[in-house]
Structure 1
């Protein structure tokens, strides 16, 4: 979630979800249940992970050497993760941790100063 912004998602999600749940899975659906519950149709939630990904390759879906992909190429539904595990409570916790982290990022940006260049 959110690149390198610290959050507590790793404490709330399964190892499989942390590795492969990167679109419309547990974390994202939980966040939407927290923010826009009326937009989430849990009766349509699915658990679907990509199959047949290379395990002996340096390439991955995300990371330093990502390969190109579209969600519809990896799963029938386009979901990459377990939306059925999502809860509003989990979303509330993730949202609070992300909000706190983004405040810290913005504070750091506001305070940041480039080091003075040394003259030779």
Structure 2
């Protein structure tokens, strides 16, 4: 499903909320001043695992013209390092049901270990 670009004012308002959210880090891959890719990381405090947090990674996106250049791997390496520096016990993400995407995450050291469930809301 492709997203339709939203009005700039809406995007700026959402960006303001995102960038000010405690525990949230937006990783940006910059190539010669151009945004080549992003990954949205959110630390979730946790009462299990001796209180060690979980880092959730969402919206890992690399622009088409920058794919297959290692940008995605760099973003995932940075996400794992962020989780490690925050003392997380795991980094978790959901991936599209696509063999190419699964191969990419496995190459980054992730393992498919759980069954995910989603309920989209209208």
Q: Which TM-score bucket, shorter chain as reference?
A: under 0.3
Bigger radius of gyration among the two: 1
Higher helix share: 1
Q: Which has the higher contact order (CA 8 A, sep 6+)?
A: 1
**Structure having the larger proportion of residues in strand:** 2
